[in-house]
Chains A and B, each alone.
Chain A
Amino acid sequence: MDARVPARLLWRDWKGGELSLLVAALIIAVSTVAAIAIFVDRLQQALVVESSAFLAADRVVRGSRPVPQEWEDRARERGLDTARTLTFSSMVFGPERSQLVSVKAVTPGYPLRGSLAVADAPFMPGRDTDRLPEAGEVWLDGRLLPALDVALGGVVEVGNAAFDVTAVVTREPDRGGSFFDLGPRLLMRYADVEATGVVQPGSRLSYALLLRGSDGALEAWRDEIGDDLNPHFEWVDIRTGSDAIGRALARGESFLLLGGLLAVILSGVAVALAAHRYSQRQHDPVAVLKTLGMTPREIQNTYLGSLLLLGTLATTVGLLLGWGLQGLGLIVFADLVPVYLPAPGWRPFLVGGITGFICLLAFALPPLLRLRDVSPLRVIRRDLAPNDASMALAYASGLIGSLVLLVWYADSLVLAGWLILGTFGTVAVLMILAHLLLRTGRIIGMQAGNSWRIALSALQRRRRENSVQIVVFGIAIMLLLILYLLRTALLDEWRNQIPADAPNHFVMNIAPDEVEPITDMLASEASGSDAFYPMMRGRIVAVNGEPTRDAEGDERSRLGRERNLSWTWDLPAGNRIVEGEWWEPDETEALISLGADYARDIGLAVGDRLEFDIVDRRVEARIASLRSVDWDSMRPNFFILATPSMMADLPATWLTSFRLEADEKQFLTRLLRRFPTVTVIEIDEVMAQVQRIVARVTLAVEVVLSLVVMAGALVLIASIQSSMDERMREFGLLRALGAGRRRILGALVIEFAALGLFAGVLAAVGAEVTVWILQEQIFQLPGRLHPGLWLGGPLIGVLLIGTIGTISTFKVVRTPPAIVLRETG
């Protein structure tokens, strides 16, 4: 066979517009997936960079003794960047006054992620800097300058050494993680620590090795160090580093993933529909080609070749378009979130490309392969169509393709499993419902006017095709509703995660006799102050009489770690008992209540007896209850709460939280001047950072949603187009028989609106069920009903399908019936 024949056929089909829908569907599939993949990739990189700033690194090894030099050397051998920090509390002396500060000594290179900000005067806005204090210099927290009565250029003493104060440090990326790191900051060179002589055996020190590099190298290094890390060191990444951000990230990623998956399924359906229509329109030409001597194998190779060519073309265009699309998204949303996103890697392009070809093979190829089986006898008998066996192959291949894409793309069998189960369960139920709805429609239609009768009898006549269409429309609308609902639920939850009036400052180290005056001061000068909690540090030394040093591995290191303890008669706000019972007032037994997650992690249960070492005293207590703790509330929370009777005679300090607006910061100076030994932690910067991350994830969600809407619209058009020939023929006939344009148009509007209504009803049912399951199972949000859906689903269906359907078929009304009949023959 001359190779020019297939090329010419393809070229002519292309020029004749036969392939437009198929190519458009493929391009949309690839570009949607590529855009989402590129965007998610860039966003993830940005989020990781942003989030890593919380650690000032990608990973941190933290412990109470120096991290072995050998570990750092090995990290450098693997190409990782490193820096060290040492944090400890110390008294610092100004000319007149002294103050307990939190000293952080850092090596050059710090911070590996994020940046320091400095100012030239206290409580002034800071500017980013990539410098560090020089040798012999320190940078001070703004509050220290009034507290020590020193100005920039002045001298302070730390231990045996004197330092020049050269800047006010207003932000450090890894501030605010741990309660251990308290007190106003003094930043200095790591190498200067020795001269101070303050690091003595028994000092409370926190050493950290900061690491930056590729995930692969980091994990490899982690594996190489292995168990040597325990029990003295802790491995920290962003997810363990900050609960709130870790969860926001995880949910954001799940959502983007889900959006991507839905876009793939929708585009796949559009590709399948378009390919199906193209294949149907090729039946006659193929029959002719067969009579002219083209063998089934030649037919197959011709269409396979064409498809691969188209696929390559569509994939290339799709990738470029995807790239442009996400760029456009960024421009559109630039005002909303002015962010810099790193350039994408090659992976999203690969993902887009592979998706294109899987879509092609699974959804477009089967209908075209059926052409192989078109009987040449069709040239004299029009009604012959390929047999059902090849149809089954088409469905099976689409199914397998979806599965492969879902599993590959979701990278989560659970998520993919739920989606597949949901989709197929829905299809089965929807098919039955669609059938019933169409039946009802006919009964109503029989009593209705003229256009109605034409429309509803048309619906009824193509009952099988219409059931399929209703299901396709229904699923498309359902997916949109699901995505919209999840987006709303997620955004609301994120917004509510940190209430607007949440406390943004903590005061700790409050002596018992300071509680009352500080309460008065807060009441008169700050808003939203919380209750005061007593606090002390203690360690679990025995569980049910067995010393914890005998416990195994990770559990041991977690069990034996020093923790903050508090005691109270009342269950704190935001806490909920999940097991056991909260104690009665005046309980005399020594009881404790543990955070449920904490208890699970270290393998403790209600009824276990624990022995604590608190300030060198042994105290025994029984676990009375487990609590769920809302860590996002930004109020003081404790893993371990005890009955006051157990703790009352132990020496404790107190802590509380309160809210200060940005222009009220001077209050801190007054507070610290009056109570120089208390420690204030500002978490407003941390909260602002969380909100920035949430804003970025939100942006991503919006972009993904709009892309999925596009894919959905394409499915609708593809689906309507696939029934166009038959509709054209029918309405051409009706018009030839004398039905007026108005009546035909009326019938079209009613037919598509009815299809849309049925689809919308089904979509509402499906979305409600799926969202419930997804919220409960994947996003761990409580499920709830959405009454708005029951109105919104059908309304969207009627408007969307009514409009797109009528516009797509409007040609029927405008073209003279003779031409319609001749062309559709």
Chain B
Amino acid sequence: MLVARDLEKTVKTAAGPLQILAGVNLEIKRGESVALVGASGSGKTTLLGLLAGLDEPTGGRILLDDHDLTAMDEEARARMRGRLVGFVFQNFQLLASLDALENVMLPMELRGDRDAAAKARELLERVGLGSRLDHQPRQLSGGEQQRVAIARAFAANPAVLFADEPTGNLDRATGERIADLLFELNREFGTTLILVTHDPALARRCDRALTIDAGHLLPEPAASAAAGG
């Protein structure tokens, strides 16, 4: 489903070029759930951005569902994201001006889906927010906002779901409920899940964990150890 070959990312800084990722190779199969773990600043969020086509690498190739993301311009990558990719973010990233229902409808509407409203309503009921369809994000708690975000992520029925610290802004109990929901829906929809997290418990719930250390992907057994598993 997702393949990265010799992935590199270097950025220019005042002190000269800074290498964030170097020689990353990975392959993720359809339906698999994978945790990206590592210390702060290790490069895991950068890797997520690259794999999801939000950013361009300075070297290497990424194949998403056999499409070469690195050969595309932003226009084509955006279309690819709309077709194949869903996101869940640490800070939810709901559109403040739209209510819960409209936020969930958005990805479907962007695709031109006629039944967006009905499907969105169904999804929101599925995440337990059937009674809060017309609430604006700021009227919802953090946990509720993340549920809306999860509903939105699955709304377009993506092949791959990227989650960046999905429970990072939530208390433990809420975080666990959100994680349950995420994995549940992931199973239901048969989505490939790639998840960046600091939380060893969350990482353990994935099929496997990949550890990034100073821009390098560690071999997998070591990765399991680093993830605490």
Q: Is B16 positioned at the interface, with any CB of A under 8 Å from its CB? A: no
The stretch of A7-15, A321-329, A782-790, A798-806 in contact with B is A7-15
Contact (Cβ within 8 A) B81 A379: no
Q: Would you list which residues of chain A between 804 and 825 have a CB under 8 Å from chain B?
A: 823, 825
Contacts of B30 in A (CB 8 A): none
State in angstroms the CA–CA spacing of A109 and B82 once bound together.
77
Residue of B whose beta carbon sits closest to that of A11: B97
Contacts of A823 in B (CB 8 A): 138
| Residue contact A296 to B74, C-beta cutoff 8 Å | yes
Binary A-proximity of B31-69 (CB < 8 A = 1, otherwise 0): 000000000000001001100101100000000000000
A9 x B78 contact (CB < 8 A): no
Q: Give the bracket for the number of chain A residues in contact with chain B.
A: 20 to 34
Q: Is B205 an interface residue (CB 8 A)?
A: no
- Contact residues in B for A737 (Cβ distance below 8 Å): none
Determine the distance from Cα of A557 to Cα of B59 in the docked complex, in whole angstroms.
Answer: 85
**Do residues B89 and A5 form an inter-chain contact, with CB atoms below 8 A?**
no
Please, which residues of chain A bring their CB within 8 A of the CB of B140? Answer: none
Q: Are A5 and B78 in contact (CB under 8 A)?
A: no
Q: Which residue of chain B is the closest to A1 with respect to CB atoms?
A: B110
Is the C-beta of A293 less than 8 angstroms from some C-beta in chain B? yes
- Is B208 at the interface (CB under 8 A from chain A)? no
- Cβ of B21 within 8 Å of any chain A Cβ, yes or no, is no
Tell me the minimal C-beta distance from A385 to chain B in angstroms: 15
Which one of B101-109, B123-131, B170-178 contacts A?
B101-109
Q: Is residue A381 within 8 Å, beta carbon to beta carbon, of the partner chain?
A: yes
- B107→A292 contact, CB < 8 A: yes
A420 to B47, CA, bound (A): 49
Does A16 contact B54, Cβ atoms closer than 8 Å? no
Q: Taking A294-B82, A296-B74 as contacts, is the C-beta distance between A376 and B54 under 8 angstroms?
A: yes
Docked-complex contact B93 and A288, CB < 8 angstroms:
yes
What does the 1/0 interface line of A282-299 toward B look like (CB < 8 Å)?
001101111111111110
When the two chains form the complex, which single residue of A9, A16, A293 contacts B107, counting CB atoms closer than 8 Å? A293
A377 within 8 A of B: yes
Instruction: Please name all residues of chain B whose beta carbon is closer than 8 Å to the beta carbon of A279 when the two chains form the complex.
Output: none
Q: How distant is A694 from chain B, measured CB to nearest CB, in Å?
A: 54
- Contact among A15, A16, A18, A379 for B87, CB-based, below 8 A: A379
User: Which residues in A have their C-beta under 8 angstroms from that of B132?
Assistant: none
Expressed in whole angstroms, the Cα–Cα distance for A380 and B85 within the complex equals 15
Q: How far is the CA of A287 from the CA of B111 in the complex (A)?
A: 17
Check B97 against A13 for contact (C-beta < 8 Å).
yes
In the complex, chain A residues whose CB is within 8 Å of the CB of B116: 2
Is A375 interfacial (CB-CB < 8 Å)? yes
**Closest Cβ neighbor of A17 among chain B residues:** B97
| Closest chain A CB from B138 CB (angstroms) | 7
A295–B95 touching, CB < 8 Å:
no
A contact residues around B107 at 8 Å (CB)? 292-293
Q: Does A4 contact B (CB under 8 A)?
A: yes
Closest to A12 in B: B97
Are B110's CB and A294's CB within 8 A?
yes
Q: Which of A357-384 contact B (CB under 8 A)?
A: 375-377, 379-381
Interface members, chain A 258-303 (any B CB < 8 Å): 284-285, 287-298
Hey, which chain A residues are within 8 Å of B102, CB to CB? 8, 12
Closest Cβ neighbor of B155 among chain A residues: A292
Report chain A residues within 8 Å CB of B17.
none
5 interchain pairs, CB-CB under 8 A = A1-B111, A284-B93, A291-B54, A380-B48, A380-B54
In the A-B complex, the 6 residue pairs with the smallest Cβ-Cβ separation, listed nearest first, are A293-B82, A12-B97, A295-B78, A2-B109, A376-B54, A377-B54
